[in-house]
Chains A and B, each alone.
Chain A
Amino acid sequence: MNIIAILIPVALLLGGLGLAGFIWSIRSGQYDDLEGAARRILIDEEPDEELLDVSQEK
């Protein structure tokens, strides 16, 4: 039964890590804009450089 002396702290530590991650994600605003994230994946990256080029040519 001594094994639980290791297993329980390990279980708590892993769970605690998940909890810490969750709280960090709330703090850093990951839940502020739930709909936006779903749309942003549809934005292509390439035009970004074109836009930059245009602005530099000006």
Chain B
Amino acid sequence: MVEVTIHPPVGRQRSAAPVPNGHALRAVPVGADEHALNLLVEGVHCANCIARIERTLGAREDVTEARVNFSTRRLYVRWRGEADAARVIVDTVEGLGYGAIPFDPEILASQGSEESKALLRAMGVAGFAAANVMLLSISVWAGLWSDMDASTRDFLHWLSALIALPAIAYSGRPFFRSALAALRGGHTNMDVPISLAVILAATVSLIETIGGGVHAYFDASITLLFFLLVGRYLDLRARAEARRSAERLLLLRATSALVETENGSVSYVAVEDLVPGMIVRVAPGERFPVDGEITRGQTEIDASLVTGESLPQAAARGVSVFAGTMNLIASVAVSVGRIGDDTLLAEIVRLIEDAEQGRARFVRLADRVARWYAPAVHILAAATFAGWVLFSFVGWQVALLHAVAVLIITCPCALGLAVPVVQVVASGRLLKRGILLRSGDALERLAAVDTIVFDKTGTLTMGRAVLTNGDEISDADRTVAMQLAAASQHPLSRAVLRAFGAGRPPADAREVPGCGVTATIDGSTWRLGRRGWCGAADRPVMGRGSELWLSRDGVPVAGFTFDDDVRPDAARTVDTLMARGFQVELLSGDRREVVDRIGEALGISQRRGGVSPTEKVARLRELEANGRHVLMVGDGLNDAPALAAAYASMSPAAAADVSQIQADLVFQGDLLAPVATALEVGRRANRLTMQNIGLAIVYNAIAVPFAMAGFVTPLVAAVAMSSSSLLVTTNALRLKREYADGGK
């Protein structure tokens, strides 16, 4: 099932003419004098966020509408005046501390939401018709035992037909369309027997009604549609989330770049129009639009996209940079090397796409059942018709009536509800434990998992630096370090602040890109930064991870060492998983020694360090070839292809966006326990799904012979169908109770 397709933005053939402002490209005119901008906002997770964004924008004179859609993390802003104001709007939102990426709604066409609306409408119409037709049917059934005369019954039948037929024609379209498409493609799916049953039942009922007959199945066919639509809507909602977040990947690519010309002037150019050799200026906080080489300036780069390493790397003239990585500290000029599809980011996207095609081969349980169920139903119905025509004298009309009864009875109403209801309940359980289920069939796949592959940085560890030798630092040095660190946004500075608490930054504090922070305190020049810059080049290496030095007037006085902290319950969770019989492996892009140390501490004997993204995928393929079903747990963008290639995948909520998009499940918090929880819920959910399918089959085994024998009247059909649907729904709800009881 390919839900998440990644393709380059289309329909943006723009000339190389300079545009005034990169963000204005995305603003669209509304009415005579207004413009509107759609933004994807990152970091919105509570009511306060909504209020802050909407109020701050709303307080501007020219803004006429600002609305955050919390479900899709989108912001719609409309304002009076020129498109240029888009820049200010984006800056305003970013100034509040949220990431804001403008997008063209035409590129991210939200088919999902249209589909969901159409299903809801169909559901509403079917529900309305089902309720009313059922009301009339009850009168007819009551009439069977009392003295209702034929004309009243016919009248009620006609009335039912009047309500049911248009409703079936309208709300049955999703099924009819899918059935037609399947038949055209020369195969059959679950929608074929559904469509057949509904259409045949309606037609036969209409013929009965015209002829003044007793058996009209209007109620059965419309309630059938209603139940199925409910199941389908639940199913769609479970999958919508995954599709939505795929949109973000498109936006990691910069859309325009600031190009320097030879005479020193600059202009914005769409990324498609860049040519190798051009000089592009990249401001701090921006992502590099191309692969290339720094020609001027000095900065630090967040290259976690490529390396998975969370600590920034210093970069100066001559250093290669990659599209999609983030420039952190200072503005630099980059000579354009490779662009568009040749960039490393595009390469990673291709890896993901390839891996996904592998996963598309997974067939959902419901579809696997449908494969033999649909033909079986057709054969049974046809046999019923043939049997009655050949071996009795009731005439073809009655034979057809019995065949339709078989179709209605076998209709996978219970099956259609069985899977989605379990899914909705299970995802609700998981959400309460901080685990977001992102793909509809992930639960099914989780249940089959027998091998777990962990990434190291950010997955087994917290993915952030922690000061390890805080006790060895004297109080005086500590105070200075607090002050200097407060003037910097560098991750190591923040680690110092986390350990010591925030100080008051000195007035003349200055951050030197790639070196550290310097300031004058009590007449001495203090530096907090790299070893060489602080004159500590000849000091012995401390610790195993990153380090910072503090120097006074060029003399190093203290060294700080940092390490990445292991998640507090990592060892316990790994033990639990191994005790439950899972094979646990550690695959990391980090250095061998580090991987060995962490693996040793957690008791993971299967481990490999220095693994590239391609090698990770290769290892997963190898495991797959050995018949293992692998759950990949990872966070960096370098893990994204592996996450996509694995049988099932999980990411922590702090992971790179692209990895989250690839993961089936995303878990929050500092603990690793959600991995075990998710596997457990997956197994229970799968057991319930199996039970439900079993129930549906048992029900069919009992009901079908009756239907074939011609005992199923409209009343029996309606009751049997509703009761089986209720049965599977109730069974699915047991997941809630079962989990509350013993699932802890």
Contacts and interface: CB of A to CB of B under 8 A. Distances in A.
A34 to B, nearest CB: 6
Given A18-B128, A19-B128, A26-B121, A39 B59 contact: no
Contacts of B132: 11-12, 15
Could you say which of B69, B70, B163 has the most chain A C-beta atoms within 10 Å of its C-beta? B70
B124 interface: yes
Contacts of A39: 46-47, 50, 70
Which secondary structure dominates where chain A touches chain B?
A: helix
Interface in A4-58: 8, 11-12, 15-16, 18-19, 22-23, 26, 31-36, 39-44, 47-48, 51-52, 54-55
A1 interface: yes
A1 B156 CA distance: 12
A36 B59 contact: no
Contacts, number: 68
B124 A26 contact: yes
B117 A8 contact: no
A26 B120 contact: yes
Interface of B: 46-48, 50-51, 55-56, 59-60, 68-72, 113, 116-117, 120-121, 124-125, 128, 131-132, 135-136, 152, 159, 163
A19 B124 contact: yes
B113 A32 contact: yes
A33 B124 contact: no
Contacts of A32: 69, 71-72, 113
Interface residues of A, number: 29
Contacts of B68: 36
B125 to A, nearest CB: 7
Contacts of B113: 32
Contacts of B116: 31
28 contacts: A8-B159, A11-B135, A15-B128, A18-B128, A19-B128, A22-B124, A23-B121, A26-B120, A31-B116, A31-B117, A31-B120, A32-B71, A32-B113, A34-B71, A35-B71, A36-B71, A39-B47, A40-B47, A40-B50, A40-B70, A42-B47, A43-B51, A47-B51, A47-B55, A48-B55, A51-B56, A54-B59, A55-B59
A29 to B, nearest CB: 9
Could you say which of A11, A18, A32, A35 has the most chain B C-beta atoms within 10 Å of its C-beta? A32
B503 to A, nearest CB: 30
Contacts of A52: 59
Given A11-B135, A39-B47, A40-B50, 7 more contacts: A11-B132, A15-B131, A22-B124, A26-B124, A35-B70, A43-B47, A55-B59
A13 B55 CA distance: 42
A39 B73 CA distance: 13
Contacts of B50: 36, 39-40, 43
Contacts of A12: 132, 163
Nearest to B131: A15
A15 B127 CA distance: 10
B72 to A, nearest CB: 7
- Which 5 A-B pairs rank lowest in CB-CB distance, beginning with the nearest? A36-B70, A42-B47, A39-B47, A19-B128, A22-B124
A23 B124 contact: yes
Nearest to B120: A26
Nearest to A18: B128
A40 to B, nearest CB: 6
A17 B113 CA distance: 25
A4 B493 CA distance: 80
Contacts of B60: 55
A19 B125 contact: yes
A48 B116 CA distance: 34
B153 to A, nearest CB: 12
Could you say which of A11, A19, A42 has the most chain B C-beta atoms within 10 Å of its C-beta? A19
B59 A51 contact: yes
A22 to B, nearest CB: 4
A18 B136 CA distance: 18
A36 B55 contact: no
B685 to A, nearest CB: 22
B614 to A, nearest CB: 38
B242 to A, nearest CB: 16
Contacts of A43: 47-48, 50-51
A16 B70 contact: no
B70 A33 contact: yes
Contacts of B159: 8
